[in-house]
Each structure stands twice: as structure tokens, then as C-alpha cells.
Amino acid sequence: MPVTSLFTSASHQEQAIAHLFVIVLIWMGVILALVTGLVTYIVIVYRKKGEGEPRQVFGNRRLELIWTAGPILLLIYIFIATVHTIAVSDPRTANRSPEMTIIAHQWWWEVHYTGTGVVTANEIHFPVGKPMLVEFKSADVIHDFWVPALGRKVDIIPGHPNRLWIDVDRAGTYLGTCAEYCGAEHAWMRIRVIAQPPAQFDQWEREQEQIPPEPTTGDAAAGLALFRALPCINCHTIRGLGPTPSLAPDLTHLASRETLAAGRLKNTPQNLAAWLRDPGYFKPGTQMPNLRLSNEQVNDLVAYLETLR
Ligand code: CUA
């Protein structure tokens, strides 16, 4: 089970930022040691021994030069290192059109892949070694996209799209969170980044483009009819079923995901059933209503949703 870790790095953008942080930390440590060391030394060595005023000293050109030029040089060095880090971690986006759009909602993530039109939610697939320009938008309040292993962090502000290059170097699963308080379920607005080698990523994208076949028999067929008849279809898109609202996560390939409800639950049929019975139990405040479904309805809906691979 991966954890949200501040100490994993999966991107040279993250490495550049971490490197700058360590350099500045070391310099600050040296200065702290120097200043406190000298103060302690002076306090001990020159403590008052006799009576009367101590001898007064005024000015020392060499010392003045050292403690003026030293900090200036250090600041110039940190400035250059910072500009370099910005260039590496935040390259210009110019007039490019973004490869992806991520829309933050209370409390989940909507993910669009521009080229293929693939739409998914909460679990974001990236190809390794291929920089992706991502545009971030908000559907409601201010959120913040933060996957520590990828380094960059960006506020998502209503009416003001922000852009970010995301360039993953290493395949793996990396967790992130919304990092700006956005309401009751802010803590359960998790991000799961799945970085795959380009061939695997293309394969995933091709699978996502497909529309899963509609079940025609059994509980699953009954579940499909229920999904159409109940309010589910007013908020959730399942491609092939008609309208494509984006008020709630796209469920076209729900069963292929690892988690439910933005990382709240592991995606198992049991958890899906529990979620349908009472979403507010797991995420108090969630926009998903409790439809007071009967056990049979839950059973049929789960049978249908599990076909959405
Ligand atoms: Cu979205 Cu906090």
C-alpha cells in the first residue's frame, strides 16, 4: 500500500526543488552555528571582570567588508540557484495547449485527456518520461493539487485556470492530497497518480476509450435499468448511456479503479455496496445523496457497476 511520502521522488522537478531546499538549509545551518557560536564565545570571553567602562572600539574596515560582502555573495548564489530550480521545475508553458485538464470538485478530481477525450476521476495516469502540460480548474472553491513525489504544487482557483508541467521519471503509484482547505471532506480528496511506461499508458488510454458492453441478463441488467431510472444518471456519466453530466465522477470504467470516493475506500464489491447504502457514513457532507436503496437494488447496482471495467 503506497503512502503519501514527502521523501520519495519520482520526478526531476521534485529533485530540483528538494536540492535547493537542502542547499539553503545547509547554508542557514552554517550561519546559525557561526552567529550563535560567536555570540556565546564573546559572552564568555569578554564578560565583565572588573569595575568601570570597558574599552570602546569603533569600526574595523576589514570586518565590515567581510560581513557585508559575505551575505551579498551568498544571496547572489541562492538567487541563481533559485532561478535555476524554477527553470527546471516550472518551464514556460507559452501558448501550448494542455495535454490534460484536471478539474477540482468538492470533493473529487475530474481528469480529462485532451488528445483522446478520455475522462476519469481521482486516479490520474501519467506516461513516464513524457512531460504533460496540465491545466487546473475548479468547479467550486479553492483547492490545491499536491503530489509530493512530483514536487510541484498548485492552487486551483475558481475562474482562474493554472497550468503546470508534470514530468514523471519513475513508474509507480504516488499518492497526493488536496492541500487547501475546501470544506467538510477536504481530507478525503485524495489523488492517486499511476505513472506507467508509455506503452502501458497508451494501452490504458485505449482501454479507457472503449465503452464497456451493456449487460443484457441477470442482476447486472437490472442494475443498468435502475441506474437509468434512479437519479444516479443525473450526475454521473457512463458513456454510452446518454447524457454526460460532470457533477460527479465519470463511472464509465469504475471497476478498473483501485479506490472509491476519492481514496476513501478500497474498490471492492462490498465497499461499493456499503457506499451506495450510505455515502454520508463514509464522507459526511458528500454531495452524493443516500437514496435509501433496498438490499436488492444495491445488489443489482453493484452487479452492474462491477461490469464497468
Ligand atoms: Cu479540495 Cu481541499
List, for residues 157-194, the tens digit of each pLDDT value: 999 999 999 999 999 999 999 999 999 999 999 999 99
Closest atom, ligand 1, to C-alpha of 143:
1
CB neighbours of 54 closer than 8 A, spacing ≥ 6? 46, 48
Closest atom, ligand 1, to C-alpha of 106:
1
Closest atom, ligand 1, to C-alpha of 156:
1
Q: What is the share, in percent, of the chain residues with pLDDT greater than 90?
A: 78
For ligand 1, the distance from its centroid to the CA atom of residue 103, given in whole angstroms, is 12
Distance CA 7, CA 224 (A): 44
- What does the pLDDT average to over 201-214? 92
For ligand 1, the distance from its centroid to the CA atom of residue 250, given in whole angstroms, is 19
Q: Kindly report, residue by residue over 71-121, the tens digit of the pLDDT.
A: 999 999 999 999 999 999 888 887 889 999 999 999 999 999 999 999 999
Q: Is the CB of 254 under 6 A from ligand 1?
A: no
Q: Is the CB of 154 under 6 A from ligand 1?
A: no
* 1 band by pLDDT with thresholds 50, 70 and 90: low
- Residues 153, 148, 266, 206: is their CA dihedral positive or negative? positive
Q: What is the share, in percent, of the chain residues with pLDDT greater than 70?
A: 99
pLDDT of residue 6: 81
| Interhelix angle 295-305/269-277, nearest 10 degrees | 130
Closest atom, ligand 1, to C-alpha of 182:
2
* 2 band by pLDDT with thresholds 50, 70 and 90: low
pLDDT of residue 279: 94
For ligand 1, the distance from its centroid to the CA atom of residue 159, given in whole angstroms, is 16
pLDDT of residue 293: 93
Q: Is the CB of 143 under 6 A from ligand 1?
A: yes
CB neighbours of 274 closer than 8 A, spacing ≥ 6? 265, 281, 282
* 123 band by pLDDT with thresholds 50, 70 and 90: very high
pLDDT of residue 71: 92
Kindly give the residue spans of alpha helices, DSSP state H, lying in the chain: 12-45, 61-89, 198-209, 218-229, 232-235, 269-277, 279-282, 295-305
State phi, psi for 293 to the nearest 5 degrees: -75, 145
For residue 262, pLDDT beyond 60: yes
State phi, psi for 88 to the nearest 5 degrees: -75, -45
- What does the pLDDT average to over 211-222? 91
Distance CA 239, CA 230 (A): 17
Q: Extract long-range pairs of 93-101: CB within 8 Å, 24+ residues apart.
A: 93/133, 93/163, 93/165, 96/133, 97/133, 98/133, 98/134, 98/135, 98/163, 99/132, 99/133, 99/134, 100/132, 100/133, 100/134, 100/135, 101/134, 101/135, 101/136, 101/137
For ligand 1, the distance from its centroid to the CA atom of residue 287, given in whole angstroms, is 14
For ligand 1, the distance from its centroid to the CA atom of residue 108, given in whole angstroms, is 8
pLDDT of residue 173: 93
For residue 129, pLDDT beyond 70: yes
For ligand 1, the distance from its centroid to the CA atom of residue 225, given in whole angstroms, is 34
Q: Quote the mean pLDDT of the chain.
A: 92
- Rounded to 5°, the CA angle 207-211-215 comes to 120
Q: Is the CB of 104 under 6 A from ligand 1?
A: yes
Q: Kindly report, residue by residue over 141-162, the tens digit of the pLDDT.
A: 999 999 999 988 899 999 999 9
Q: Is the pTM of this model over 0.85?
A: yes
Closest atom, ligand 1, to C-alpha of 186:
2
The arrangement of strands across the sheet holding 172-178 comes to: 123-127, 190-196, 172-178, 143-146, 153-156
For residue 131, pLDDT beyond 70: yes
pLDDT of residue 48: 75
For residue 257, pLDDT beyond 80: yes
